[in-house]
């Protein structure tokens, strides 16, 4: 299956994509992860992206589209993919449409994880990644045993540089202004599947599988 995950920062796109990847033969393509890797590796692309990321703004379409074009040409996407955090504006959505047409591929669905804005803040400020396992956790919501397991495995709970209150506010504004119009875009294309993204992670995952017929 070829899917786009839509939703505000903190709506659970990354977490739910990781679960689909674990259960089905799909790959997760997260532009945020690819950009953070480039920043950590200190590449030219990473240096160009860092300022926008630190401010919670979108990185230029040119950078992001180049990364996506390369990624979609790797053979592992043939089993299906989840685009997580891309497209982020209408111009990226149009470019994706032509890129997929050139590659002879078509999207099966755009899944919108719908979460109220007041819940998003807590999810984002509490979010941590285990440095050892890469597992996404939350200091407010994850079971203590899962948080402790990271330390026991020799890892540390890392907070993303852009998960601070000031940057979060900006990222949510950017989402409202630039990304939300994609809901109507995918609805018109007949691809939109809306899932209530609040509450228990297992329940949300079951709803996602339900709308995808998995
Ligand atoms: P994310 O991990 O998806 O929340 O992305 C983190 C940051 O990376 C965003 O705040 C943007 O600065 C940048 N970013 C990720 N995906 C995109 C995209 N598709 N277009 C532009 N910027 C992006």
Residue 9 maps to which CATH number?
3.40.50.300
Strand partners, 112: 6, 194
The pick from 50, 59, 83, 167 for probing ligand 1's pocket by mutation, whose C-beta has the most ligand atoms within 8 angstroms, reads 59
Atom number of ligand 1 nearest to Cα 57: 12
Is residue 202 packed enough to be buried (19+ CB in 10 Å), middle (13-18) or exposed (0-12)? exposed
Residue nearest atom 5 of ligand 1, based on CA coordinates: 32
Domain assignment present for residue 165? The answer is no
Task: Give catalytic status of residue 209 as yes or no.
Answer: no
Q: Which of 19, 105, 122, 160 is catalytic?
A: 160
Say what the pLDDT of residue 165 is: 87
Say what the pLDDT of residue 20 is: 96
Domain assignment present for residue 164? The answer is no
pLDDT tens, position by position, 5-35: 999 999 999 999 999 999 998 999 999 999 9
**Would you say the CB of residue 4 lies under 6 angstroms from ligand 1?**
no
Domain assignment present for residue 60? The answer is yes
| CA triple 49-80-150, angle to 5 deg | 60
Domain count, the chain: 1
Task: Give catalytic status of residue 127 as yes or no.
Answer: yes
Task: Give catalytic status of residue 13 as yes or no.
Answer: yes
Structure tokens at 190: 């007949």
Task: Give catalytic status of residue 176 as yes or no.
Answer: no
What strands, in cross-sheet order, belong to the sheet with 109-114?
27-30, 81-84, 2-6, 109-114, 192-196
Say what the pLDDT of residue 118 is: 81
The number of C-alpha atoms within 13 Å of 120 and in the hemisphere containing its C-beta is 21
**Would you say the CB of residue 29 lies under 6 angstroms from ligand 1?**
no
Task: Give catalytic status of residue 160 as yes or no.
Answer: yes
**Would you say the CB of residue 56 lies under 6 angstroms from ligand 1?**
yes
- Residue 9 domain boundaries: 2-115+179-212
Pair 111, 212: CB distance under 8 Å: yes
Say what the pLDDT of residue 45 is: 94
Say what the pLDDT of residue 126 is: 94
The residue ranges of the chain whose pLDDT is under 70 are none
Does this model's pTM top 0.85? My answer is: yes
Say what the pLDDT of residue 62 is: 97
**Would you say the CB of residue 35 lies under 6 angstroms from ligand 1?**
yes
Which secondary structure element, helix H or strand E, spans residue 192, and what is its range?
Answer: strand 192-196
Domain assignment present for residue 166? The answer is no
Say what the pLDDT of residue 163 is: 93
Pair 158, 129: CB distance under 8 Å: yes
């Amino acid at each position: 299956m070829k899917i786009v995950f839509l939703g505000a920062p903190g709506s659970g796109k990354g977490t739910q994509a990781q679960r689909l990847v674990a259960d089905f033969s799909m790959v997760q393509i997260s532009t945020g992860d690819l950009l953070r890797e480039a920043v950590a590796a200190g590449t030219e692309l990473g240096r160009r992206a860092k300022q926008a990321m630190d401010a919670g703004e979108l990185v230029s379409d040119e950078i992001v589209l180049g990364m996506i074009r390369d990624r979609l040409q790797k053979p592992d996407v043939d089993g299906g993919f989840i685009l997580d955090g891309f497209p982020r504006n209408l111009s990226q959505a149009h470019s994706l449409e032509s890129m997929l047409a050139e590659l002879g591929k078509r999207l099966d669905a755009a899944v919108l994880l719908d979460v109220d804005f007041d819940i998003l803040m807590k999810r984002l400020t509490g979010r941590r990644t285990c440095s050892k396992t890469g597992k996404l956790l939350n200091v407010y919501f994850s079971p203590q045993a899962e948080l402790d397991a990271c330390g026991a495995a020799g890892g540390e709970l890392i907070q993303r540089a852009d998960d601070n209150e000031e940057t979060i506010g900006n990222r949510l504004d950017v989402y409202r202004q630039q990304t939300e119009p994609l809901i109507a875009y995918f609805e018109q294309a007949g691809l939109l599947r809306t899932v209530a993204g609040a509450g228990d992670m297992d329940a949300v995952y079951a709803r996602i599988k339900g709308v995808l017929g998995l």
